[in-house]
Amino acid sequence: MRKLTIILLLSSTLLLSACGNYNDTTGTPAEKLETVTAKEKAEKDDLSFKAGVLETQTYKLKIINTEIIQSASAEKPGLYVSFELTNKSEETLRPFDVLYDIGFKQQTAASSMEMTSGYRSFDAFGQDAKSVNIMTERQNALSDDLEPGKTMKIYNAYSLDNPTDEVQVFPTINNFNNDDFDAYVIDLTELTPKNNGA
């Protein structure tokens, strides 16, 4: 019993001293909150999103073209997006990773639908050898390294619920939400559906 009491006393002492040290080194809860807020502000200051252009410290991603496509193997249409990507950093950049930083939503009458990436675009531009080769090259380029200071076109396809309701584009970086930025709106009624030709 005496051993148990001694162990409990030692544990309590260590716990209290650890708590005291934690408070001494990290500051008050208000100071911790100020630190987090300052960090988030600095991150937001390093990020801009205007008129379909997402810019960070390391890259600039610009939407340059959008078109409605229809895959023969999909029931619903897709949105095919052409981007221009510039590497502003001093290291190579993998284009595929950058696509995670931008999100697409379609505003239907009933809800706001998150659009998924990876819509089947290979057969939407034709099934001849030339069209398939072009689409294969574009897909493979997403895994290539983009050298510092260089710019390239990249492409991605997203699933649509329908070909008429507007699409809204937002950054999806860190903890930012849609309220932090104005949406880039794509009016699908102004787009001409593409069924062939790459």
pLDDT in tens, 159-191: 999 999 999 999 998 766 666 788 999 999 988
Q: Which of 8-12, 76-80, 88-92, 163-167 has the lowest mean pLDDT?
A: 8-12
**Model's pTM, two decimal places?**
0.74
CB neighbours of 71 closer than 8 A, spacing ≥ 6?
Answer: 78, 119, 120, 121, 122, 123, 124
pLDDT of 38 strictly over 50: no
**What is the architecture, at CATH level 2, of domain 52-190?**
Sandwich (2.60)
DSSP code of 180? G
Average pLDDT score over residue span 81-98: 97
Buried-state track 43-73, b at ≥16 Cβ within 10 A, e below 16: eeeebebeebebbbeebbbbbeebbbbbbee
pLDDT, mean over the chain: 81
d(C-alpha 131, C-alpha 2), whole Å: 83
Query: Which residues sit opposite 49 in a β-bridge?
Result: 54
Q: How far is the C-alpha of 8 from the C-alpha of 16, rounded, in Å?
A: 12
Question: What does the pLDDT read at residue 127?
Answer: 84
